[in-house]
Structure 1
Amino acid sequence: MADHYGILGVDRDASFDEIKKAYRKLAREYHPDVNPDPLTAEKFKEISTAYEVLSDPDKRQRYDLGGDPFSSGGGFGGQNFGFGDIMDAFFGGGGSRGPRPRMREGQDALIRVELDLAEACFGTERELSVETAVVCEKCQGNGCADGAKPRVCEICKGRGETQ
């Protein structure tokens, strides 16, 4: 499976905006209309595929879990079975790979925790310290500065949250 993060030159925890910026930069450089080299056209296809996967939250999640980002998944019985199916079974998917409802839209948190085999098999308890986003006090979470005309808030840069 291709390394979509490496193709776009972004980290695994890159935001949508970082992914989009990297894609646009590479697309300008490798677009077949700009560069007629046949090898460039193939590179552009790789870049476009990487962007398609990483810009779609569902495809990105399937890719990150080791599954095929372009399959809708079929549970445990078919040839599309992968590591993502196992993770779904343990952590709330039950073999189904459909979209899960979210309480609130936002970026998913990715927290890496090292476990030894016994902890992974039999469970353990750990105390984690996690920084969470809080509602921006200036714009109250709407992403715009005060005033009648929508403008990007200088504090949170339009995200509606600060850390």
Structure 2
Amino acid sequence: MAVKFRDYYEVLGVPRTATQEEIQRSYRKLARKFHPDVNKARDAEDKFKEINEAYEVLKDPEKRKKYDLLGENWKTGQEFRPPPGWDYQYDFGRGGGQGEFQWGGSGGFSDFFEMLFGGQRGGRARGGARRGGGPVWSQAGADQEATVRISLEDAFHGATKSITLQMQSLTPDGQVAVQEKTYEVKIPVGIMSGRKIRLSGQGGEGMGGGPRGDLYLKIEIEPHAVYRLKDRDIYVDLPVAPWEAVLGADVQLTTLSGQVTLKIPPGTQSGQKLRLRGKGMPNPKETAGDLYVVVQIMVPKHPSRREQELFEELRKESAFNPRL
């Protein structure tokens, strides 16, 4: 059987090089414009179904890849026959994108879609009818994301933080409203920058009975005045006196997990790293990171007369040459 080819990129008004974010943004704009609850034009319903069909393919990297393999057959309106081996099925009843409009009527996808992808019609459609026997329309709320900056101490120990965000919402008349909302958020022990905390059902509102989306808080750990975080390892500088480096010493060191006594080996060099295993960033599922103490040999800026005499004596007595 041959059917008319459908250019899904043209339907969504995006180039074939479009990113997933650009595809999603264009889809949401068009879906709002042609949603039958908003647009009463005679062809709005067909246009809305066509937009959903195009997005069903282009939002999914695997479906999009298969669609793009048509290669030279990109000619709108041409007769299309799927090549051999393209008959595997997709289950459109699982997963789904963010903030998608759902079609609840009959005849979900075109013959071209069915021939290319197989699977069941209607996807995540909701059944039922409005008063008067019309189809049911629903829109799942869009997931939202915000960046939250926390201290290294909060990431290390965990904390409960009150976080106030400015959220945008769509009013019934289509206007964008901005309001503040405060959340009590539990920061897990050992969380790292880039990780996200999910607040279920705190995202955008749904339409037509659709569920709210989720709110994702992306964590960013602020730079610290004393400690440096690299992966799960923590680095800290330790100033030591020349005689401590030469003779060795036991020094008190403040770490994020408390006070420790650190042994400076005799002959320690400036810049040398002393490792404290497991004293870095905690990891609830695996081994914690390490703490690296970076030795910085310091000299007195304003030595006393006696100190100067001792250093003069040391210079006469010592055969040490740091440049050899």
Q: Answer 1 or 2: which has greater helix percent.
A: 1
Q: Answer 1 or 2: which has greater strand percent.
A: 2
TM-score (norm 1): 0.44
TM-score (norm 2): 0.24
| Structure with greater Cα Rg | 2
